[in-house]
Amino acid sequence: MAERSRTYRTQAVILRRRDYADADRILTVYTPRLGKVELIAKGVRKTTSRKAGHLELFSHASLLVAQARTWGIVTEVTTVESFLHLRSDLDRISWAGYVCELVDAFGSAEDESQPLWEMLLYALRMLDSDEAQIDLFLRWFEMHLLSLVGFQPELFNCLACGDELQAVTNYLSLAAGGVFCPRCGEAAGGTEPIEPGLLKVLRHIQRSSWTDVRAVQLRPQTIQAVENILYRYLVLVLERQLRSVDFVRRLRSARNQLAVTSNQ
């Protein structure tokens, strides 16, 4: 007689899913102990399935999984957090998609995943809240995610000589992963000047809690400059564009166009 498949329980956030066969669905989930895992939910697309409502994108669920040869099989599921407020707003849905795409891109199986798991849940809870400074929060999330996965940019000391960076115009190198002092930056290729005020903001975001970051009033142009730097750095590290960003930008463009039209 074949050995019975072992089972385990885990909490998980549904990062991504795709249809499979006639009624099944393959789920990419992130878990606190196992990192990123692919599972199969059999029969979940049938109208009679009791699992479907618990396995929505971005849901925080508790799963009972039977280990199988290709994918673990979801045998039981209950919702822990459904993030209903998030789901009622198209902007927040798009931001949640972006957060989950980043975790999907950087997370891997059997990594030390508890800190990243906690960051993911924190981000989804923030998006589900009434937090108004979501653009700034996403920059904070990006910076701290980079730190967790080993790609923290060096913003305090020169990449070449190691000297502490001063409050002058320094030189940013995304390819090198940080900032050069003026003397070393002039000799390095592929750099761009970074003004002291912008570097100060990046440093604050990198070393501070969200509570401390949100307490600082920043101009929209400054947040946009931070977004530009971090997104270009993420693309360089991942060596690909992020699909969800295109959707976020189309929404932003449409909203801005509507505002212009309304004011005419």
Domains in the chain, ordered, with CATH? 7-83 (2.40.50.140), 131-263 (1.20.1440)
The pLDDT of residue 251 is above 80: no
Helix %, strand %, coil % of the chain (to 5):
45, 25, 35
To which residue do tokens 């979501």 refer? 134
Task: List, in order, residues 6 or more apart from 211 with CB less than 8 Å away.
Answer: none
pLDDT recorded at residue 13: 98
pLDDT at 132: 87
If you average pLDDT over every residue of the chain, what do you get? 91
Instruction: Collapse the DSSP code of 254 into the 3-class scheme (helix H, G, I; strand E, B; otherwise coil) and give the result.
Output: helix
Q: Which residue has the tokens 């209903």?
A: 84
Side chain identity at residue 100, one-letter code: C
Residues 193, 2: Cα–Cα separation, whole Å: 65
Q: Are 53 and 59 in contact (CB under 8 A)?
A: no
pLDDT for 246: 75
For residue 3, give the DSSP letter: P
Q: What percent of the chain has pLDDT over 90?
A: 78
Angle, in degrees to the nearest 10, between helices 243-263 and 90-106: 160
pLDDT at 169 over 90: yes
pLDDT attached to residue 4: 46
Q: Calculate mean pLDDT across residues 201-223.
A: 96
Please report the pLDDT score of residue 112 as a whole number. Answer: 67
- pLDDT-wise least confident of 131-135, 175-179, 258-262: 258-262
Q: Are 74 and 224 in contact (CB under 8 A)?
A: no
What is the structure's pLDDT at 123?
98
